Amino acid sequence: MTDVLTDRGDAEQLRSRIAAELERTRARTLLLTEAVDDADLVRQHSPLMSPLVWDLAHVGNQEELWLVRDVGGREPVRCDIDDLYDAFKQPRRDRPSLPLLPPAEARAYLATVREKVHDLLDRVAFDSRRLVADGFAFGMIVQHEQQHDETMLATHQLRAGPAVLHAPPPPEPAARVAGEVLVPAGPFVMGTDTDPWALDNERPAHRVQLPAYFIDAAPVTNGAYRDFIAAGGYDDPRWWSEPGWRHRQEVGLSAPMHWRPDGDGWAYQRFGRWDRVRDDEPVVHVCFHEAQAYAAWAGKRLPTEAEWEKAARWDPATGRSRRYPWGDDEPTSAHANLGQRHLRPAPVGAYPAGASPLGVHQLIGDIWEWTATLFRGYPGFAAFPYREYSEVFFGDDYQVLRGGSFGTDGAACRGTFRNWDYPIRRQIFSGFRCARDARPEQAHR
Ligand SMILES: [Fe+2]
């Protein structure tokens, strides 16, 4: 599906794939918003998050703007609400005081827009216009809704009250995974020109030369993180960057978000339930500063974004960069903990089939991984379809996160996918793994 589709059979295949992705995604959106009552939908559960009903109608509004109006050239369904659901015009903290569509009206709006989109999908020609080639705009809208589904899941995690979401536990470990993996020095291709639904910030593909480095075979676990806490890591400024220490002091960080002491150990709250902290799960709900402090305490550092991507995509046998650590095939439940199938990270070793050729595990799914890199455009970056997608976020404010979490859908996650957030954020499903430089004599082991 890398070329513009002219063949009729291919176009029909693409149409049905898009329709299936739209349906699958909408089912998740409805599940997340129907799990709570209307009072809960319009409430703001944290100043960091929108009321769920805002996300709901915003998803419909973006679908209307890009597909119904831009691609379809149709009359607006409702242009009176564009400003209300413009993420740039309305800061999250102010959203609950806006005259938002009530839940029933928001649901009806989504359904109306979706009906028009199905109508459009039946007729659209996937010609060479960049917005429609390979169904890009449809893919962008699927990914956008999936991203809001993850945001809504994070809102659920912040919500007080009894549990309303249910999912089976992730698989138990099937392999023993520990230690580090040596990634040899040399070039690799970062980013992509060919992934049809890749977003502007993942492009263009470009060659990056890296010295040899070690990267952890698995994300940092709760057990390892507890050692950092027990060793006084939160009270020792030696391990923290200057802004990190300042932030730690200001807000009184002392453990990951959603943790509380429990007897001689720790418990964590997950979607309304309290459990004893499990040592072999990747740590989640830590901010960049905490990740960086842990890495310094462990005598390591966070990987750069390029190091993360080389570990995830580079195939030493061919020198090629794959779409995913395991190859080019779409993720299945055997490869990675994605798509809200389980509502927590899986223990380390649970996905041997998802490991990279070098033996790095759980790069995709489970937790977003903080990297040492600030969010910038790749050499030759060109904003598409609009500057507000990525470019306005480039600069010194946002750290890149990679790999997706248990809350991320497979459609919005691949080896090239880039997420970004403020270094103080930890309401997202964020964890990390460590890396370190390899000394020259270790580089060709
Ligand atoms: Fe959005």
CATH of the domain at 290: 3.90.1580.10
Which amino acid type is present at position 349? Answer: G
CA of 403 to the centre of ligand 1 (A): 20
What pTM was estimated for this model as a whole? Answer: 0.96
Residues 270 and 204 both lie in one domain? yes
173 and 128 both lie in a single domain: no
Angstrom distance (rounded) from CA 121 to CA 137: 11
pLDDT band at 442 (very low <50, low <70, confident <90, very high): confident
pLDDT exceeds cutoff 50 at 5? no
Q: Is the CB of residue 239 less than 8 Å from the CB of residue 233?
A: yes
Asked whether residue 95 is marked as a ligand-binding residue, the answer is yes
Ligand 1 center from residue 18 Cα (angstroms): 19
421 is in an annotated binding site: yes
Cα(311)–Cα(166) distance, integer angstroms: 33
Indicate if 104 and 177 belong to the same structural domain: no
Residue 215 scores a pLDDT above 50: yes
- Which of 158, 180, 205 is where one domain is finished? 158
Residue 208: per-residue pLDDT: 98
Res 370: pLDDT: 99
Mean pLDDT of the 275-280 span: 97
17 has binding-site annotation? no
| CB-based contact 270:411 (threshold 8 Å) | no
Q: Is 425 annotated as belonging to a binding site?
A: yes
Could you tell me the distance, in angstroms and rounded to a whole number, from the CA of residue 150 to the centre of ligand 1?
11
pLDDT the model gives residue 6? 53
State the pLDDT confidence band at 3, using cuts at 50, 70 and 90. very low
- Report the chain's mean pLDDT, rounded to a whole number: 95
24: nearest Cα among 420, 414, 444, 411: 411
**Ligand 1 centre distance from Cα of residue 14 (Å):** 24
Both 52 and 125 in one domain: the answer is: yes
Of 129, 158, 187, which one is at a domain's C-terminal end?
158
Domain ranges, residue 216: 169-445
Residue 153 inside a domain? The answer is yes
Mean pLDDT of all residues in 160-179: 95
Q: Give domain status of residue 53, yes or no.
A: yes
The annotation status of 366 as a binding-site residue, yes or no, is no
Statement: residue 177 has pLDDT above 80: yes
* Beta carbons within 8 Å of 33's beta carbon, 6+ residues apart: 41, 52, 53, 56, 103, 107, 152
The pLDDT assigned to 443 comes to 63
